[in-house]
Amino acid sequence: MKRLAFVVVLLLSALPVSAVAAPPAQGWAFPVIQGYGGIHVWKQAIDRPDPAATYKTLFVIHQGDPKSSQANFGLQQVARALNEFGAAGVPSDHLKLEVVITGPATPLVLDGPAFMARYHHANPDLDLIARLQQAGVHLMVCGNALYGFGFTPGDLNPDIQIALSALTTTIIAQSQGYAIVQM
C-alpha cells in the first residue's frame, strides 16, 4: 500500500505545471475526463494498476490562485489519476476518490455568480468540477477554510459538500486505508 501511495504521488507530481495547464493536443489522451489531466501511456511503463484491485485516495488540495484563468492544478491531477487508472482498465467502481479543498484553493469551490462577484472573472474550475463529480469523485471543502474566507454555504458550487474540516477528513480517510495525496 505504501508503494502504491508513493507511485501515485510520484506520477501525479511528475509533470511541470505548464505541461498540465496547456498540454499539446497531439500525444495526450483523455480516456475518462475529456480535456483535463492528459496522459501519455508508454508501453514500457512499469507499476501499472491492477484492474482487479480497488484504489482509495484522498486528494488534499490546498494550492490555488483565484486570479488564474486556468483550472486548478490539483483538480487537474485528480483528472489525470482518473485518466491513468481508466487507461489501465481499472473499472470506475474500483476507484474511491475523494477531494478536500482547503487553504488558498478554497475559492475554487464557489459557484459562478459568487466567484464572479469576488474575483471579476469566470470560475475556471466549474467545468472540471462537474466532470469529476459525474465521474464519481466526492468533492468537499474544509468548513474552517470556507468560514475563514468569509464564504457561506449559499456561495458554494452545488457539486461541493462542506466537510467539518480538512484535518478531520484527512485523519478519517487515513484511518480507513486511503492513500493521502497533498497538493
CATH code assigned at 147: 3.40.1260.10
pLDDT band at 14; cut points 50, 70, 90? very low
pLDDT (tens digit per residue) in 33-59: 999 999 998 889 999 999 999 999 999
Tell me the residue type at 91.
P
In a domain, 72, yes or no: yes
**Domain, as residue range, for 84:** 2-15+28-45+54-182
95-101 β-sheet, strand order: 161-163, 138-142, 95-101, 55-61, 179-182
One-letter amino acid for residue 179 of the chain: A
Is residue 145 included in any domain, yes or no?
A: yes
**Considering the domain boundaries, does residue 20 fall inside one?**
no
**CB count, 10 Å around CB of 62?**
17
Number of structural domains found in the chain: 1
Tell me the percentage of the chain whose pLDDT exceeds 90: 83
172 in a structural domain: yes
Does 115 fall in a domain? yes
Q: Report which secondary-structure segment, H or E, holds 127.
A: helix 126-134
Are the beta carbons of 83 and 39 closer than 8 angstroms?
A: yes
The 10s digit of each residue's pLDDT in 118-129 is 999 999 999 999
Q: Please report whether residue 9 resides in a domain.
A: yes
